[in-house]
């Protein structure tokens, strides 16, 4: 009886530790409608609730030939995009992929993306962490959430 109790308690603790595991969460992923063969864009915010920095190294989707990470900057009144191999996600911090900033370029859409469509993608981090996301196609940027993830 006593043994069973201890075992049940251990399992319960293990389950709650699993649920409370700090992680990187992806907030408000979205894309814009675009025609097949052209390039789409992707936006999201990465929230790192962990005390370990990580780095986004790859983004893939079955609906795009490839996905590049781009930064955007203004120099002498000219907006330019630069390809980034890696995007750092600081410990206890966040990185926004948003219009006018970092963004995902979905190079060579394999089909037309209409408003309301859902584009699946997989994020791979330097740590080996993989996160599957779905980017809904929206005509207008969503209202940003007031999110303040706890860092543990």
Minimum gap (Å) between residue 105 Cβ and Cu ion: 4
Q: How far apart are CA 55 and CA 88, in angstroms?
A: 4
Which residues in 112-151 contact Cu ion (CB under 5 A)?
none
Q: How far is the CB of 149 from Cu ion (least distance, A)?
A: 27
Answer for which of 22, 33, 53, 70 binds Cu ion (CB under 5 A) is 70
- Does 105 bind Cu ion (CB under 5 A)? Our answer is yes
Of residues 58 and 70, the one with the C-beta less far from Cu ion: 70
**Restricting to residues 26-45, which ones interact with Cu ion according to CB under 5 A?**
none
Determine which residue in the list 6, 8, 13, 81 makes contact with Cu ion, applying CB under 5 A. 81
Q: Of 139, 127, 150, whose CA–CA distance to 52 is shortest?
A: 127
* Beta strand pairing call for 103-109 and 64-75: antiparallel
Q: Which distant-in-sequence residues (6+ apart) come within 8 Å of 7 by Cβ?
A: none
Cβ-proximal residue to Cu ion, closest one? 70
C-alpha–C-alpha distance, residues 20 and 17, integer Å: 5
Cα distance between residue 114 and residue 101, in whole Å = 24
Residues that bind Cu ion (CB under 5 A): 70, 81, 105
């Amino acid at each position: 009886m006593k043994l069973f109790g201890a075992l049940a308690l251990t399992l319960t603790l293990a389950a709650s530790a699993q649920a409370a595991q700090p992680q990187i969460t992806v907030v408000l992923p979205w894309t814009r409608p675009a025609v097949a063969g052209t390039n789409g864009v992707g936006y999201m915010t990465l929230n790192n609730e962990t005390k370990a920095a990580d780095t986004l190294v790859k983004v893939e989707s079955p609906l795009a030939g490839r996905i590049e990470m781009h930064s955007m900057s203004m120099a002498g009144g000219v907006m330019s995009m630069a390809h980034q191999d890696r995007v750092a996600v600081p410990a206890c911090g966040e990185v926004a992929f948003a219009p006018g900033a970092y963004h995902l370029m979905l190079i060579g859409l394999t089909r037309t993306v209409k408003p309301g469509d859902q584009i699946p993608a997989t994020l791979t981090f330097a740590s080996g962490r993989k996160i599957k996301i779905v980017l809904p196609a929206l005509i207008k940027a969503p209202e940003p959430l007031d999110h303040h993830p706890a860092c543990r």
